[in-house]
Structure 1
């Protein structure tokens, strides 16, 4: 439930703060997924080269996503949380999709 301001409306800064926190949670979840991929690669007996490349690509994607999230957090503090550009959404979705592809490659390498 939203906190109410003086005039009975929703608190102005609440939405921007929730959005900022969600970007940070998503970045943390991304890092955790990458960490689990590294753990799976270490535990695997074969396909270390291909798996290593998949993890390296995932690491680059995470770094790019981290920069994107930080830029969005800074933009939220400047604009007060008004809208998000379509390019930001597409880049974030693309990074998550490419991480899923890298995870699929890693799964095939470690299990197959």
Structure 2
């Protein structure tokens, strides 16, 4: 993930790591499906308790600002670098609404942040 989700014009990575397998190759669809299933089976049991623990937490103004900045980085990455978004926008007759529907409703754009 760190290699793909890199915002070159900012010199920073967009996320906190993970796996990314857009270019995963195998001659067997069953092997690919088993791989995806094993990833989900590994992540979901760990992630659900975290969500349940924090789902009702409120945000401080500082945390909300940080969230907005991270959302801005997401928008920048998607519009400038993401292969799927670029492909969709370059495809004649594509539904722009469908391509951009993952963008957050609110975001903040600040170039220099400490």
For normalisation by structure 2, the TM-score amounts to 0.30
Higher relative contact order (CA 8 A, sep 6+): 1
Larger radius of gyration: 1
For normalisation by structure 1, the TM-score amounts to 0.31
Which one has a larger percent helix, Structure 1 or Structure 2? 1
